[in-house]
């Protein structure tokens, strides 16, 4: 069990799109165990959840997540003409602001760092000051899906490309004991997915294609040739994965490989790995399952902790 001692505990929240709701459950389990969190480093969805937690408004985010259905998920996609990404991500402002009035890093109750990637140099960019929403936007900008963010003369995209689980970042913040949450350890192919248990909700195939219909509707003034191409990208057959499923799976696999290397070089003291690999990029309506899994896996790991006196 956890032995109380004056150590600076850092939390590294990893990237993983819709699986990120499990960060909420992980934090709840950590708090329930009486473990203080002194600083947070987050990548992508980890940056978003970490930022809300650092404002003291995590219960509001949990309530919001549990109320999400597929229609609400789709409503937060602000589709743009695909020049550098399908979605502009401006609604991140709405998503964050509905839970807190915090605007800059100075408003956080504990220190927070967010990880992004310079798309031109490939270098990791650590953001720990300035506008919160702009920083979250940079950290979550999955290449090809969200448009990149221009910040301090750099074009920034998803930090998961270089540091999916920012253990080293939270250590640089002064943490001498690190708890990390890895969302990409259980990436599986459709053939290997576990069948849902009795009573467990699954998303109908039609709902999965609502986002595609929404994208097509956004282009109703575009040239017919562009619409024709979009239709080829998003075939109606349920047996054929759409472009977002392919991109999400590909990025998840890549981040898994990067995470394995990074964790071998710079391991955390506690590694939490929720088993949510079958969730796709935009399965944000699966919050109840994700939060529960994050909570349960964290409880299991925390029971093993004993910090030497």
- Residue 245: CB atoms within 10 A of its CB come to 15
> Distance between CA atoms of 108 and 92, rounded to whole angstroms?
18
> Can you say whether the dihedral through the CA atoms of 104, 109, 113, 116 is positive or negative?
negative
Query: Which residue in the list 17, 44, 141, 168 is annotated as catalytic?
Result: 44
Q: Which of 267, 277, 270 is nearest to 299 (CA)?
A: 270
Q: Which of 102, 103, 95, 62 is nearest to 78 (CA)?
A: 95
Phi then psi dihedrals of residue 184, to 5 deg: -115, 15
The verdict on whether 210 is a catalytic residue reads no
> Distance between CA atoms of 305 and 104, rounded to whole angstroms?
34
User: What would the two tokens of residue 132 be?
Assistant: 């919160």
Query: Which residue in the list 57, 135, 158, 249 is annotated as catalytic?
Result: 158
* Exposure of 248 in the CB half-sphere (CA atoms within 13 A): 20
Catalytic positions, written as ranges: 44, 158
């Amino acid at each position: 069990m956890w032995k109380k001692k004056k150590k600076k505990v850092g939390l590294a929240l990893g990237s993983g799109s819709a699986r990120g709701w499990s960060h909420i459950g992980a934090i709840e389990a950590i708090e329930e165990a009486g473990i203080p969190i002194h600083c947070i480093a987050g990548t992508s969805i980890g940056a978003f959840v970490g930022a809300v937690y650092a404002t003291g408004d995590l219960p509001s985010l949990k309530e919001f997540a549990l109320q999400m259905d597929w229609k609400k998920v789709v409503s937060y996609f602000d589709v743009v003409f695909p020049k550098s990404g399908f979605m502009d991500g401006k609604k991140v402002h709405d998503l964050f602001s509905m839970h807190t009035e915090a605007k800059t890093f100075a408003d956080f109750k504990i220190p927070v760092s967010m990880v992004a990637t310079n798309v031109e140099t490939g270098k990791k960019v650590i953001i720990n000051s300035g506008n919160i929403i702009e920083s979250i936007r940079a950290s979550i900008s999955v290449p090809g899906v969200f448009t990149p963010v221009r910040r301090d003369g750099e074009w920034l995209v998803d930090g998961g490309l270089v540091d999916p689980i920012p253990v080293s970042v939270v250590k640089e913040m002064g943490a001498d004991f690190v708890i990390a949450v890895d969302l990409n350890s259980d990436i599986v192919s459709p053939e290997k997915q576990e069948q849902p248990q009795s009573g467990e909700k699954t998303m109908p195939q039609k709902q999965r294609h609502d986002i595609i219909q929404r994208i097509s509707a956004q282009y109703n003034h575009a040239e017919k040739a562009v619409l024709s191409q979009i239709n080829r990208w998003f075939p109606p057959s349920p047996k054929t994965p759409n472009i977002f499923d392919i991109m999400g799976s590909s990025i998840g696999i890549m981040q898994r490989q990067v995470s394995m290397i990074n964790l071998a070089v710079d391991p955390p003291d506690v590694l939490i790995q929720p088993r949510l690999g079958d969730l796709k990029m935009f399965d944000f309506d699966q919050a109840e399952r994700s939060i529960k899994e994050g909570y349960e896996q964290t409880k299991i790991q925390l029971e093993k902790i004993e910090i030497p006196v």
